[in-house]
Structure formats: C-alpha cells, structure tokens
Amino acid sequence: MVDTRPYARKVRRSLLQRELMGGVPQTGLVGLFVMAVVFIYVFSMFFMIIPIVILYLVMRHLTKKDPWLIDIVLENIQQKDVFIP
C-alpha cells in the first residue's frame, strides 16, 4: 500500500523571520555606526549622538511592521536614474 499523504514538516518561525541586530537590519546598523564614528571620533561632534539615537529609534520603529523596509529604501537610493526619451 502506497502512502499518498503529501510530505510535510513543521517549520519554526525563527527560520522564516529575518535576523535583526537590535531591531534594525544589519546594513542600517552598520551605517549608523559608521556615521557615529565619523561624527564623534573624527570631527569631535559629540552632540551628534542625539540625532544618531533618534535615527536608530526611527529605523527600529519602521522595521517593526516590515523588516525589509530599510533594505528596500537603501536599494532605491542606490539605484541609478535612467532617462528614457
């Protein structure tokens, strides 16, 4: 007798979800870290800690609903503009 049931396995939610570092995608967090290093250590602008923390909180809030939003925005910023006559 042949078993005609489809093959099925339980899939854990952690395998389907995106890995976020501190609630922010890795590319966004690395960008913020680079900005912090440049402004704070290179230019000695210690007051830039406040805008960087605010940007982090905004990015974290935006990725609560859609974890791919920051990557989509960064990809669209880097896309070349093409004028088709």
**Every domain of the chain and the residues it spans:** 21-78
pLDDT of residue 83: 79
Nearest to 50 by CA among 41, 60, 39: 39
67: Cβ–Cβ under 8 A, 6 or more apart, which residues?
Answer: 17, 18, 20, 25
- Sign of the alpha-carbon torsion through 19, 21, 22, 27: negative
pLDDT of residue 17: 79
pLDDT of residue 54: 96
pLDDT in tens, the chain (85 residues): 566 667 677 778 777 778 888 899 998 899 999 999 999 999 999 999 999 999 999 999 999 988 899 889 889 888 888 877 7
**By three-state DSSP, how is residue 21 classified?**
strand
